[in-house]
Each structure stands twice: as C-alpha cells, then as structure tokens.
C-alpha cells in the first residue's frame, strides 16, 4: 500500500486531533494529542486514543457492527486491524484498511495547521462508480477536498465514467481537530449536507478546509448484508483469518 499525499504546509501551530473513521459500518474516533495551548505556554500531548463508536441501528444494515465475519464480530476485526497503526497508543476502520492509512491521515492533518478535518481516498473501479452506498470525493491540487457525493464525480457530459478523469473513492476514515469538534455541532445545517446526507459537506459549506491523502487501497466496505459474503470470499482468497 502506498500513500501519495500532496505536500502539506509544515506544522507551525499546535493542535489536538481526533481521527474518526467509519469501519465497515462501525466508526472509529481517534483522539490524537499533538500540542495544546495552555495560555501563552504550550504543552506537548503525545497520547493517541482510538474509540470505536459502533452504530447498531444502521438503516441499510441493522446490527452490522456485530455481524459475523469468518467467525469474529466485525467490530472485533476492526479493533484488531486498528491496533496495528503505529500512531495509536490506546484503542478505545473500513474493515481491511491498512494501518498505514490510519497513520497517514494522522500525520497529514498534523502537518496541515489550516485544516480541521482530514480523510483518505483511493481510485474507484469503473464498475463501482455508480454505487450509491459508496461515497466519492473531489480533491483540488493543494490536497484539500472540494466536494463529496454518492453519485459519480467528476460527472461528465456523457454521464459515463471517463478513464481520463480519476474517480476517487472516500474510504470512510476521518480526522478532526478536537477544538473543531466543539464547533461542529453549532454549525448550521447546509443544503448539500441535507441533500446528500453527508456530514463532510457541512464542513466544506461552512468554509473549513479538509485535508485529503490519496492511497493505493482496494476498498472492501460492508455497507449492506450482501457485502458480507463478498468480503469473506476476499479474505479466504488471501488467507486473512
């Protein structure tokens, strides 16, 4: 797996971070202590905490955090996978996501003091470009998100996938500035957020920057009950127990 993030600005200011990822229907929030302002002085906070916030009553797949994946509940597999990330001190992400991606979005956000949110994307396969269960992301040249959609983006005049334009798939792992999490609930709901049912659009529409890293990753989310058999077959083929 390779991470090809755009060059970000150096970390000149200090922040506390929280990384939040949706792990095949579960969500992981990782509190990352970087630096916090204490009056005029600064104190280094190096602790990193991960929290798996599993949402049992999913509208598309009720009970999916506890669904059995080759003998283990999905939330357990998410926890075991997340423990491999080197930036996490305590656990407390897509199911088969590489721990390097978790580490990548942590470091990318720490290096972008003007951003309050970060995430990871990968190239989408043409056959999955119209799947409404998967979210796509557009990224500008400076490495920040422009737009998220459940439909095809970039949307061409023909309405078909154009191989000359890369369609980027959002991997569902997110990073937040901890101070921003106190602001987010107070932000006004936005038209795009409501229309697409995507909380990332609320961040963008309110004028905040969202750092994005591009990675080479074969996405295998569990968004519906039909995805369970697919991911079990994938794991058997690669001896992933």
Answer yes or no: is pLDDT of 54 > 80.
Answer: no
Report how far residue 113's alpha carbon sits from residue 108's, in angstroms, rounded to the nearest whole number.
10
Answer yes or no: is pLDDT of 36 > 50.
Answer: no
Q: Which pLDDT belongs to residue 222? A: 75
Average pLDDT score over the chain: 75
Q: If you average pLDDT over residues 114-139, what whole number do you get? A: 85
- Taking only the tens place, the pLDDT of each residue in 73-96 is 988 888 888 888 887 765 545 566
Q: Do 209 and 117 touch, CB atoms closer than 8 A?
A: yes
**pTM passes above 0.75:** no
Q: Is the CATH number 3.90.550.10 carried by domain 16-181+190-227?
A: yes
Geometric angle at alpha carbon 10, from 143 and 40, rounded to 5°: 125
Q: If you average pLDDT over residues 210-232, what whole number do you get? A: 82
- Taking only the tens place, the pLDDT of each residue in 18-27 is 444 434 333 3
H helical segments located in the chain: 74-82, 99-110, 178-183, 191-196, 199-205, 226-237
Residue 220 pLDDT level (bands cut at 50, 70, 90): low
Residue 195 pLDDT level (bands cut at 50, 70, 90): very high
The domain ranges of the chain are: 16-181+190-227
24 phi and psi angles, rounded to 5 deg? 50, 45
């Amino acid at each position: 797996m390779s991470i090809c993030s755009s060059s970000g600005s150096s970390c000149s200011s200090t922040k506390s971070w929280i990384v939040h990822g949706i792990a095949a229907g579960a969500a992981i929030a990782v509190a990352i202590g970087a630096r916090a302002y204490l009056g005029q002085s600064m104190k280094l906070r190096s602790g990193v905490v991960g929290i798996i916030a599993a949402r049992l009553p999913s509208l598309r797949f009720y009970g999916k955090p506890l669904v059995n994946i080759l003998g283990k509940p999905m939330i357990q597999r998410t926890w075991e996978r997340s423990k491999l990330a080197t930036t996490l001190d305590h656990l407390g992400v897509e199911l088969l996501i590489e721990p390097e991606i978790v580490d990548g979005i942590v470091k990318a956000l720490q290096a972008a003091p003007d951003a309050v949110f970060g995430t990871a994307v990968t190239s989408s396969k043409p056959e999955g470009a119209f799947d409404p269960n998967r979210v796509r992301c557009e990224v500008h040249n400076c490495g920040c998100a422009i737009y998220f959609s459940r439909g095809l983006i970039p949307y061409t005049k023909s309405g078909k996938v154009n191989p000359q334009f890369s369609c980027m798939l959002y991997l569902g792992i997110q990073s937040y500035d901890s101070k921003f999490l106190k602001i987010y609930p107070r932000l006004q709901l936005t038209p795009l957020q409501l229309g697409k049912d995507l909380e990332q659009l609320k961040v963008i529409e309110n004028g905040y920057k969202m750092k994005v890293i591009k990675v080479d990753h074969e996405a295998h989310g569990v968004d519906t009950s039909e995805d369970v058999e697919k991911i079990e077959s994938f794991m058997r083929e690669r001896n992933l127990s």
